[in-house]
Amino acid sequence: MADINIKEVIPDKNSFFNIKRFRIGNLNQDFLMKTIDIPNTSKKLWQTNKDLRENKLIFEKTKTIKKFEDMQSLLNESDEKKINSYFDKKTWLDDIFTIFHATLKFNPYKHVKKLSEIEGFWHYYYTYSKDVLLIPNVVKDRTPYEEDKPQKKEQIISFDEYVKFVDELYQFFQQMNNKHIFVPISLRFNITEIKKLVEHYLSKEYFYYWIDFESRPADPSNSAIYAKIRQINSLLRNSPQFDKCVLFITNLRREIISNLKDENSPASDILGTLCGANIVGVNRESTKYFPEMKDKPIKIIQHKARLFDPETYYYKMLEGHSLNKAVNITENSVRVANEFDKQRENFLEKLDIQNYLKKKKMLNQYNNGKILKSILIKEEKNKTLF
């Protein structure tokens, strides 16, 4: 396995915000750290959007695999077009840095004793994960309304099986020896299990992690989720290997809370850096079951096509902008990426991120300003006391 060359680490003393300068693939530390969603970016958009062509961007494809039979059928497929389609391969992205990863909604060990029994699938997975390799996440349990129809909550995989799954695949991919391997962290495990998981990874010298938010918002004022984020970051910060670690978070809900009646929706994805992330991935909305609507009301179309406002950290309807959802998804990713760059520039100048964030309207208004209070890892009174 190739190591990521981390040249410099600059952590914020008062939060989990940190800057790590590193080269990954053909990108150096100047790349924009918010990824672009491949399915929502066309070749035409790539050719006509100056920001996409001139910036050093990472393109990302995330896939949910619901059934083992979907993997098995791929092994019996000989049509190259269908195989390429399964992994959403775009030939116009061949020279661009791309990430592919999957979330499994089933337990592979209920179908095979060893993952090597479906070795062909993992060879496909490795090949289509062009620049880095993310070991798939396995959803711990299935909750009601997650699938096409309501179901009872049930466990999909145990903690021990999850660890076995990651270790087995890590050893398999490590033999390939030329891609950075990221291991998954599921936020569905309880906080004790998450602690054991991260400690296991550190003991095995797995230093690159990806957190699958599974359509949850990155909201530091959400105590249940952020407590787990704090646990992960505390373990990494207190580890002597912190300077070797890279954290990638993805599949975040676009907004913390979304309401058609509200003019502004508080952004979630822009808060990824406050979760300690060095790279922030694509957005994924919840797949809860709702009756299919043939003709969506214009209000819903306008809501889904909202644009990120970097001055306020709200998603809002901006006058005169397009209602093309796919175009706006890409535009939002570029806007968030540019704002991450501004966060980084401001932090490098002042070695403090809080004063910059205090200028953002949403962070002062939403939940009575609890987000900024929640990210603190050291109270001001403790500073003066000592």
Pairing of strands 98-104, 59-65: parallel
Q: How far is CA 150 from the centre of its chain?
A: 26
Query: Are the C-beta atoms of residues 367 and 226 closer than 8 Å to each other?
Result: no
pLDDT at 381: 40
Neighbours of 44 (CB within 10 A): 9
**250-293 confidence digits (pLDDT tens):** 999 999 987 766 789 999 999 999 999 999 999 998 765 444 54
CA distance 35 to 28: 15
pLDDT at 362: 96
Neighbours of 366 (CB within 10 A): 21
pLDDT at 311 over 80: yes
Q: How confident is the model at residue 384 (pLDDT cuts 50, 70, 90)?
A: very low
Q: Which residue segments constitute the domains of the chain, with CATH numbers given?
A: 5-380 (3.20.20)
- How much is the average pLDDT of 118-136? 95
Alpha-carbon torsion (376, 236, 283, 103), positive or negative: negative
- How much is the average pLDDT of 215-236? 93
> Cα separations (Å) of 111 from 137, 238, 307?
17, 39, 44
pLDDT at 296 over 70: no
Q: How confident is the model at residue 147 (pLDDT cuts 50, 70, 90)?
A: low
Q: How confident is the model at residue 352 (pLDDT cuts 50, 70, 90)?
A: very high
Query: Are the C-beta atoms of residues 121 and 127 closer than 8 Å to each other?
Result: no
Percent of the chain with pLDDT over 70: 88
H or E element: which one contains 148? none
H-only helix segments in 17-132:
43-48, 50-54, 68-75, 80-86, 119-128
